[in-house]
Amino acid sequence: MTAAGPTFTSSTCGPVCAPLAGSITFSGRVGTLTASVQPGSVVSMEDIASHSFRDFRVQLRVVGGTGHYAHARGRLSLTYSSVWTHEWVNGVFDDGIADAGTLTGTLR
């Protein structure tokens, strides 16, 4: 999944946003599930001196899978946030990443 197109700002997304395209594969013990990114999916980006923020709102259509998910179909919604902190701690540049997300939807 990548940013795919010019950046923009809107009343529901900002300060800098970009449309998303591509696919994402989820892997687990019982197989993999691949979904294609649907139109309207966006990433919101903000960078300041001490943090970089990325908030994803992704609509997905299941297109394939393996194992238990070999014949799965359906639509999913992924909301995902990533915060990258960068700061000096005791004279050393220290980076940290905190990620959190929610995947909802129905598989058939």
Residue 24 lies in a domain: no
Instruction: Supply 29's token pair.
Output: 């013990």
Angle at 28 between CA 32 and CA 106, to 5 degrees: 65
Please say if the pLDDT value at position 94 is more than 90.
no
pLDDT in tens, 7-26: 999 988 989 999 999 999 99
Which whole number is the average pLDDT over 40-69? 94
pLDDT in tens, 22-54: 999 999 999 999 999 999 999 999 988 888 999
Q: Which CATH number do you get for residue 89?
A: 3.10.450
Please say if the pLDDT value at position 93 is more than 90.
no
Which whole number is the average pLDDT over 60-74? 96
Residue 70 lies in a domain: yes
Residue 38 lies in a domain: yes
* Residues in a beta bridge with 27: 32
Residue 79 lies in a domain: yes
Q: In Å, what is the CA distance from 97 to each residue of 17, 18, 32, 83, 93?
A: 20, 21, 25, 6, 14
Residue 14 lies in a domain: no
Residue 13 lies in a domain: no
Whole-angstrom Cα distance, residue 88 to residue 91?
6
Q: Residue 94's domain spans which residues?
A: 2-8+30-107
Residue 20 lies in a domain: no
Q: Model's pTM, two decimal places?
A: 0.85
Tell me how many domains the chain contains.
Answer: 1
Residue 77 lies in a domain: yes
